[in-house]
A and B are shown apart, each in its own frame.
Chain A
């Protein structure tokens, strides 16, 4: 029997407009129950939102939908004014340039140094060499890696590698930063450093969405928490906390 959904409407930044809107979104794969089932969610510009839930709750599908890696089976998703269900393939790159993405496993280019990894993001959006030389050192300073720009990323600690990944995500000045388990491979100290960095990025106006399993961080940061279970949102709380699945 499905648990009764308790939703407490989150209080959002005043006068903020929705930057992400999911309206009754369902995503089904060819077999099994839908990964997302009738999800409605509004995220406003400048918010910091945790998305939590156990494996199979639909978090990964939600991220893939927001990145337009998948399209919804029904319902609509609007991100920064783009209707993702109707977006043409050729418009996806331009849309993704307004998103920053950070993964649990960093996904850095191991054979290149810190500078090259961050510059890579600028090269891809075809920035001029002059802009790259100006922007990369600046973002590396923000994440505290200005002194290590020549280091091979394979020689860095996990925390430092995640900082490089954040620098790469931020160098193109995205409107939204999506972080999928950013502290999943890090020790508690490094995890806190990364979260402080995320908070700082949010304070500068970027909307931050963090998918995580880290109860301690979620409970300590008092941010909006969206809890998912079996493809539906079961809690959506301002200054929320981490709920166990059987709660």
Chain B
């Protein structure tokens, strides 16, 4: 393709936007609305997952060992457990540390009455999971290990968190799928209207001897531009809303700051920008290519 033809085609794409400005605006508004919903949803889900993840990381399984088990054996067990994929980290709590912690938490000054460590056999491993749903499998494994006396775990927390996580994942996939289908349908509809307005122009082009590519290109460029603009607008709006909402929540619910740890806007946008632009441009491209294809046969 000649450079002049390339720039002509590109120019025609831009001109198409202006010539059919109402359809263009309608298309941009549609994509923007869908991507706005997607972006908001993505931000909320990301934060929710972040909260769940933080909570998950706080859930631990504690393993106590039989009387007389040496520290070497416990540390060997620790090394074995750390190799398991669902395990995030394992902390060794010696009998002394367990007693110190107990004294601080429950006894205070009354601890002075104890001359020996009553928790002598309480050396334990605290295991933090990467994925709470794997807790039952891990517990079964731990209980089968030699020297293990008892395994304490919080079954309710684990199953609740893992349930919420899957529910959120399913709902997100469902809503995103519906939004994408609606977007593609609306874009295809808008491009169809745009093309029917220019049906005569396409037919003239074909009679004069335009190649399929030359006929399609301006419409496809138009679709891509609509998708691009339609993805940038909601990104800007979400950026403003997110920044303000993060400040508002941090000020209003400062006492819950450990639980309500809002992700920084940059973390959200690192993924949201490429995803939104890709979806916007992709919808514009697919919508225009498939629709133009239908109207090519003169």
Contact with A along B207-231 (1 / 0, CB 8 A): 1111110100000000000000000
Distance in angstroms between the alpha carbons of A109 and B206 in the assembled complex:
14
Do A93 and B204 touch across chains, with their CB atoms under 8 A apart? no
Determine how close the nearest CB of chain B comes to the CB of A71; give it in whole angstroms: 12
Do A109 and B204 touch across chains, with their CB atoms under 8 A apart? yes
Distance in angstroms between the alpha carbons of A99 and B204 in the assembled complex:
13
Question: Looking at the complex, which of A19-27, A46-54, A76-84, A117-125 is the stretch in contact with chain B?
Answer: A117-125
Do A93 and B211 touch across chains, with their CB atoms under 8 A apart? yes
Specify which of B1, B206, B207, B211 lies most central, judged by the most chain A CB atoms within 10 Å of its CB: B207
Task: Note all chain A residues with C-beta closer than 8 A to B19.
Answer: 111
Do A97 and B209 touch across chains, with their CB atoms under 8 A apart? yes
Do A124 and B209 touch across chains, with their CB atoms under 8 A apart? yes
Task: Note all chain A residues with C-beta closer than 8 A to B211.
Answer: 90, 93
Task: Tell me if B201 counts as interface (CB < 8 A to partner A).
Answer: yes
Task: Tell me if A217 counts as interface (CB < 8 A to partner B).
Answer: no
Task: Note all chain B residues with C-beta closer than 8 A to A101.
Answer: 207-208
Task: Tell me if A157 counts as interface (CB < 8 A to partner B).
Answer: no
Do B5 and A67 touch across chains, with their CB atoms under 8 A apart? no
Do A96 and B207 touch across chains, with their CB atoms under 8 A apart? yes
Task: Note all chain B residues with C-beta closer than 8 A to A128.
Answer: 2, 4
Do A126 and B2 touch across chains, with their CB atoms under 8 A apart? yes
Specify which of B207, B208, B210, B212 lies most central, judged by the most chain A CB atoms within 10 Å of its CB: B208
Distance in angstroms between the alpha carbons of A168 and B298 in the assembled complex:
19
How many residues from B make CB contacts under 8 Å with A?
A: 20
How many residues from A make CB contacts under 8 Å with B?
A: 23
Contacts A69-B298, A124-B214 given; does A172 touch B208 at CB 8 Å = yes
Do B204 and A107 touch across chains, with their CB atoms under 8 A apart? yes
Task: Note all chain B residues with C-beta closer than 8 A to A120.
Answer: 204, 208
Task: Tell me if A129 counts as interface (CB < 8 A to partner B).
Answer: yes
Do B8 and A123 touch across chains, with their CB atoms under 8 A apart? yes
Smallest Cβ-Cβ distance to A122: which chain B residue: B208
Do B207 and A67 touch across chains, with their CB atoms under 8 A apart? yes
17 examples of A-B residue contacts, CB within 8 angstroms: A67-B207, A90-B212, A93-B209, A95-B209, A96-B206, A96-B208, A97-B208, A101-B207, A107-B200, A109-B204, A120-B204, A121-B208, A124-B210, A126-B1, A126-B5, A128-B4, A172-B208
- Residues of chain A at the chain B interface (Cβ within 8 Å): 67, 69, 90, 93-97, 99, 101, 107, 109, 111, 120-121, 123-126, 128-129, 168, 172
